[in-house]
């Protein structure tokens, strides 16, 4: 009787040991965590200009396509800015024409005075020769010198006028600085007018919307969010002791608490370079006298690969929903 009891105890202990080894081996090759949450890209919708809302085109939790109108800002002020910028551009064009005409006039005067200078120089040369031969009086020679000096000074003055006119005119055509400045102001005014119509940057769901028509929108201040419909993943926080064998590319199974009957197939996309505590608002100070060793958790990004026969449209994912992730690692 004792012999049978001993054999039974031995076999039971052996089977229990095998079971424990199997469980330990399975947990080693299939690390799992319930500290996991569904994530997606969330775009903050902001306006690039300030103004009152004229019209809202979307509702809370509505699905929108990329480029769909979200809301409009009252555009009258920006339309007036465009009109003013257009007038400034036209004035720059007119001024450019007037300055160009001034350059032409200054050039003509310079050419005219250069001709007069050439004539005065020739007259002075002839008069000087006659004066040296004693054929003309000293007063005639001095008068020729004065006319030459006067013509030379007139040429210098005309050249200065031409240089000043060319400087005021600047470069020709589209390279003119004033014209470029006016064109830039016009383009800026048109851009600001286009910013009064805010459109969706991507496909997704409108979330956290709290806008009303007539409310003042401040530039660069987030108004609501759009949860993108593409590129969903699960952020699983594994204990540091579970990361020994987890590698990028390992397959994983994902169970969403919201849909207990749904199993997703995933793949390890990346492993966090730091624990969640390191990037928290108040990171722990371990260099203290009251130190207690705590197993840290590191975020592991799991890419959703397949819904395993389940239609994602019937059971859409929600950002922040809880999940359980099990990774299959290679020994």
The predicted-structure confidence for 219-266, as pLDDT tens digits, reads as follows 999 999 999 988 889 999 998 888 888 899 899 999 999 888 888 999
CA 53 to chain centre: 24
What are 12-48's pLDDT values in tens digits?
A: 554 555 555 544 444 445 688 999 999 999 999 999 9
Q: DSSP per residue over 263-300, as a string? A: EEEEEEEEE-SS-TTTTSSS----SSTT------EEEE
What CA–CA distance (Å, rounded) separates 188 from 184? 6
Residue 171 pLDDT > 80, yes or no? no
Beta strands in 143-230 (DSSP E): 197-199, 204-207, 216-217, 224-228
- Hey, do 29-40+230-327 and 47-74+196-221 end up sharing a CATH topology, with the first three levels equal? no
- What pLDDT score was predicted for residue 17? 56
Count of alpha carbons within 13 Å of 73, Cβ hemisphere only?
23
CB 181, CB 91: distance < 8 Å: no
Average pLDDT over residues 210-218: 90
User: What kind of fold does domain 29-40+230-327 have according to CATH?
Assistant: Elongation Factor Tu (Ef-tu); domain 3 (2.40.30)
Average pLDDT over residues 304-316: 69
Out of 3.90.1300.10, 2.60.40.650, 2.70.98.10, 2.40.50.100, the CATH code matching 47-74+196-221 is: 2.40.50.100
Residue 215 DSSP code:
P
Q: Classify residue 113 as exposed, middle or buried by CB count within 10 Å of its CB (0-12, 13-18, 19+).
A: buried
pTM for this entry: 0.66
Q: Classify residue 23 as exposed, middle or buried by CB count within 10 Å of its CB (0-12, 13-18, 19+).
A: exposed
- Nearest alpha carbon to residue 37 among 232, 270, 225: 232
Place of tokens 């805010």: 198
What are 98-121's pLDDT values in tens digits?
A: 555 555 655 666 666 666 667 767
Contacts 24+ apart (CB under 8 A), 91-96: 91/182, 92/176, 92/178, 92/179, 92/181, 92/182, 93/179, 93/182, 95/178, 96/169, 96/176, 96/178, 96/179
Least confident of 24-38, 158-172, 201-215, 268-282: 158-172
Give the domain ranges of the chain.
Answer: 29-40+230-327, 47-74+196-221, 77-192
Residue 97 pLDDT grade (very low, low, confident, very high; cuts 50, 70, 90):
low
């Amino acid at each position: 009787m004792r012999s049978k009891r001993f054999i039974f105890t031995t076999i039971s202990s052996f089977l229990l040991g095998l079971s424990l080894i199997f469980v330990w081996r399975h947990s080693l090759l299939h690390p799992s965590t319930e500290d996991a949450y569904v994530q997606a890209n969330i775009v903050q919708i902001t306006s690039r200009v300030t103004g009152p809302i004229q019209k809202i085109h979307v509702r809370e939790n509505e699905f929108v396509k990329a480029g769909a109108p979200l809301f409009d800002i009252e555009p009258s002020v920006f339309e007036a800015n465009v009109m003013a910028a257009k007038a400034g551009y036209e004035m720059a064009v007119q001024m450019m024409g007037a300055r160009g005409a001034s350059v032409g006039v200054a050039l003509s005067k310079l050419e005219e005075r250069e001709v007069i200078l050439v004539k005065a120089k020739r007259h002075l040369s002839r008069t000087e020769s006659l004066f040296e031969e004693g054929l003309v009086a000293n007063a005639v020679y001095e008068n020729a010198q004065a006319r030459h000096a006067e013509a030379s000074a007139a040429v210098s003055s005309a050249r200065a006028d031409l240089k000043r006119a060319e400087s005021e005119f600047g470069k020709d055509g589209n390279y003119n600085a004033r014209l470029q400045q006016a064109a830039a102001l016009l383009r800026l005014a048109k851009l600001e007018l286009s910013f009064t119509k805010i459109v969706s940057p991507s496909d997704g769901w409108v979330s956290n919307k709290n806008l009303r028509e007539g409310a003042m929108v401040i530039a660069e201040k987030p108004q609501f969010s759009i949860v993108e419909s593409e590129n969903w993943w699960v952020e699983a926080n594994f204990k540091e002791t579970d990361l020994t064998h987890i590698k990028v590319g390992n397959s994983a199974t994902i169970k969403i608490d919201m849909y207990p009957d749904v199993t997703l197939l995933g793949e390890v996309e990346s492993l966090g370079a730091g624990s969640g505590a390191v990037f928290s608002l108040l990171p722990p100070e371990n260099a203290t006298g009251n130190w207690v060793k705590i197993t840290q958790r590191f975020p592991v990004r799991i890419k959703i690969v397949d819904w395993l026969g389940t239609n994602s449209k019937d059971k859409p994912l929600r950002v922040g929903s809880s999940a359980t992730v099990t990774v299959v690692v290679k020994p």
